[in-house]
Every structure is written in structure tokens, then in C-alpha cells.
Amino acid sequence: MEANLITEGVKFMFLGMGTVFVFLIIMIGAVNMMSFIVHKFFPEPQAVKETVSVNTQQQDKKKIVAAIIAAIAYRKES
């Protein structure tokens, strides 16, 4: 009698695990298909390379230095 119950338990275990396995395979396929469709109809825009001149870089550095000086001056006042 006990061997029969163990056999039935093993059968249900494989049935349940098989069901979960099949569900996961179907879900992975559906997600991959949705990803393909989204990338087909809504492609990512290509990155545009911006050329930064030396003058712009110098202006950015001057702004950074001015912000640091202002922060130090504010800190000394407090």
C-alpha cells in the first residue's frame, strides 16, 4: 500500500514540475517574441556623435571653477 502511495506522489511531482516547465518555456517564448516585435516597430535611435570644440571645453572648465569658488566663499561665510 505504501509503495503505491509513493508511486502516486512521484507521478504528481513530475506532473506538477512538467507543467511548470512547459509554462516557463511558453513564457520565455512569448517574452522573446514581444521583444522582437517592439524592436522591429520601435528601434532605438542611433547615437549622434557631438563634436565638442576646445573653446566649449574651456568655457565648461571656467564655469566649474566659478562654481567651486562660489561654494567655498559661501562655506566661509557660514
Quick one: cell of 11?
507521478
Q: What is the pLDDT of residues 8-17, one digit of tens each?
A: 999 999 999 9
Which backbone phi and psi does 44 adopt, to 5 degrees?
Answer: -75, 140
Give pTM, 2 decimals: 0.51
Structurally, the chain folds into a number of domains equal to 1
Average pLDDT across the chain, whole number: 87
Distance CA 4, CA 13 (A): 14
Better pLDDT: 45 or 40: 40
Better pLDDT: 47 or 34: 34
Query: Could you tell me the CA-to-CA distances from 68 to 48, 61, 64, 71, 75 in Å, in that order?
Result: 31, 11, 6, 5, 11
Task: Give the per-residue pLDDT at 39.
Answer: 92
Distance CA 67, CA 60 (A): 11
Domain ranges, residue 53: 2-77
